[in-house]
């Protein structure tokens, strides 16, 4: 077994192996990549999780395993829509992911959910449906209107910070020389990766994977910067970390007459998907799923 899987939980090892197998196949991943996190033992509608800003769904391995019950759990990872070309809008991403679900036989969902940027996309998917899907936002907030767009150097630094913090590494700032962020992207990632390796920190991505992931991150960031969420009147649960900057009140103001259920959880933005808090997130998603209509289709407004 390679160094990349050493120290991983069994759930994360299985997910990594499944993702690697799919990447070596000829799967069509233009819009995105539909990944089964858990088989369902019943005909209950599944839970669908949307990737965060980095595009991967590895962060959901433990969450998918811990959601109670016997319903299937799917996740959507980013594909060529975010990895190539000009950045799409959040609405374009949402519509493409609805098409992806239906094309793969997932016509309904008990819950659409997402962490961080994934919550923005999940919410827009719900808004684009003629029905009102149940929605769970996991520490999700839009881009603050008073914060300017990041420079290329800032984007690279936050990209690496996101990779490390998602892996459980904590720090005040990425421990590398700040001048490295001003290098051309490929050189910067190579130099930063080498510097971190000397300190015992591994980004766990090949050079090719780094470039793909940073393009996804850049395009998702631009989509997020331009997105202004509209109102949504469907059932919504808002989970927020007490130590993050996310304010749950934003969504209450855009709830279209139905206030969301708001749940505060201990920890920061990244700890929500790690033990022990991830079990509470799983329980909240299950409660939302159990309250969802039995036959909740994902039919678009134009169908």
- The mean pLDDT of 268-282, rounded to a whole number, is 96
- The residue ranking higher by pLDDT, 247 or 260, is 260
**Percent of the residues in the chain that have a pLDDT greater than 70, as a whole number:** 87
| 219 found inside a domain | no
- The residue ranking higher by pLDDT, 295 or 215, is 215
| Lookup result for tokens 């595009």 | 55
CA distance linking residue 63 with residue 42, whole number of Å:
19
| 109 found inside a domain | yes
Instruction: Kindly state whether residues 46 and 178 are assigned to the same domain.
Output: no
Closest CA to 273 of 61, 48, 68: 61
C-alpha dihedral sign at 106, 109, 113, 118: positive
User: Given 214, 241, 268, which residue is the final one in a domain?
Assistant: 214
CA distance linking residue 124 with residue 196, whole number of Å:
37
Instruction: Kindly state whether residues 123 and 17 are assigned to the same domain.
Output: yes
Instruction: Kindly state whether residues 162 and 138 are assigned to the same domain.
Output: no
pLDDT of 53 above 80: yes
- The residue ranking higher by pLDDT, 66 or 44, is 66
Instruction: Kindly state whether residues 99 and 22 are assigned to the same domain.
Output: yes
Instruction: Kindly state whether residues 62 and 210 are assigned to the same domain.
Output: no
Q: What residues contact residue 25 under an 8 Å CB cut-off, 6+ apart?
A: none
Cα angle 126-128-129, degrees, rounded to a multiple of 5: 70
Question: 8-17, 142-151, 241-250: which range is least confident on average?
Answer: 8-17
Closest CA to 169 of 204, 206, 118: 204
CB 74 within 8 A of CB 48: yes
User: Given 214, 246, 267, which residue is the final one in a domain?
Assistant: 214
| 279 found inside a domain | yes
**Percent of the residues in the chain that have a pLDDT greater than 90, as a whole number:** 69
| 45 found inside a domain | yes
| 76 found inside a domain | yes
Q: How far is CA 186 from the centre of its chain?
A: 24
Cα angle 68-70-75, degrees, rounded to a multiple of 5: 80
pLDDT digits (tens, 9 = 90+) for 254-269: 998 789 999 999 999 9
Instruction: Kindly state whether residues 107 and 251 are assigned to the same domain.
Output: yes
| 254 found inside a domain | yes
Q: What is the pTM of this model?
A: 0.90
pLDDT of 16 above 70: no
Say how many domains are in the chain. Answer: 2
CA distance linking residue 80 with residue 215, whole number of Å:
10
CATH number of the domain encompassing residue 10: 3.40.50.1820
CA distance linking residue 190 with residue 51, whole number of Å:
25
pLDDT of 164 above 60: yes
Question: 51-55, 170-174, 175-179: which range is least confident on average?
Answer: 170-174
Instruction: Kindly state whether residues 18 and 92 are assigned to the same domain.
Output: yes
Instruction: Kindly state whether residues 157 and 134 are assigned to the same domain.
Output: no
pLDDT digits (tens, 9 = 90+) for 115-136: 999 999 999 999 999 888 999 9
Instruction: Kindly state whether residues 77 and 196 are assigned to the same domain.
Output: no
User: Given 187, 214, 241, which residue is the final one in a domain?
Assistant: 214
- The residue ranking higher by pLDDT, 92 or 43, is 92
| 303 found inside a domain | no
CA distance linking residue 97 with residue 240, whole number of Å:
25
What is the pLDDT, as a whole number, of residue 197?
93
Domain ranges, residue 206: 152-214
CB 83 within 8 A of CB 212: yes
| 267 found inside a domain | yes
């Amino acid at each position: 077994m390679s160094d990349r899987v050493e120290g991983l939980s069994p759930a994360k090892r299985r997910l990594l192996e499944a993702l690697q197998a799919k990447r070596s196949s000829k799967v069509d991943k233009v819009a995105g990549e539909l990944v089964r996190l858990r088989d369902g033992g019943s005909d209950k509608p599944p839970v669908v999780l949307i990737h965060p800003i980095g595009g991967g769904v590895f962060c959901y391995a433990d969450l998918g395993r811990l959601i109670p019950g016997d319903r299937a759990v799917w996740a959507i990872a980013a594909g060529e829509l975010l990895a190539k070309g000009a950045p799409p809008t959040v609405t374009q991403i949402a519509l493409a992911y609805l098409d992806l679900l239906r094309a793969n036989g997932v016509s309904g969902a008990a819950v659409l959910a997402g962490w961080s940027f994934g919550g923005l996309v999940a919410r827009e998917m719900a808004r684009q449906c003629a029905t009102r899907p149940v929605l769970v936002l996991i520490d999700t907030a839009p881009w603050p209107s008073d914060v300017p767009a990041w420079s290329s150097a800032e984007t690279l630094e936050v990209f690496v910070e996101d990779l490390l913090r998602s892996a459980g590494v904590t720090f005040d700032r990425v421990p590398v020389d700040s001048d490295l962020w001003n290098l051309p992207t490929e050189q910067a990632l190579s130099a930063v990766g080498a510097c971190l390796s000397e300190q015992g920190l591994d980004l766990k991505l090949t050079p090719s994977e780094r470039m793909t992931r940073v393009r996804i991150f850049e395009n998702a960031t631009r989509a997020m910067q331009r997105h202004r969420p509209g109102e949504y009147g469907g059932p919504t649960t808002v989970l927020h970390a007490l130590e993050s900057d996310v304010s749950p009140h934003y969504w209450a103001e855009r709830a279209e007459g139905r206030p969301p259920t708001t749940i505060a959880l201990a920890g920061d933005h990244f700890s929500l998907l790690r033990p022990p808090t991830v079990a509470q997130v799983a329980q909240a998603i299950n409660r939302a799923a159990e309250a969802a209509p039995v036959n909740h289709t994902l039919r678009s407004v134009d169908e």
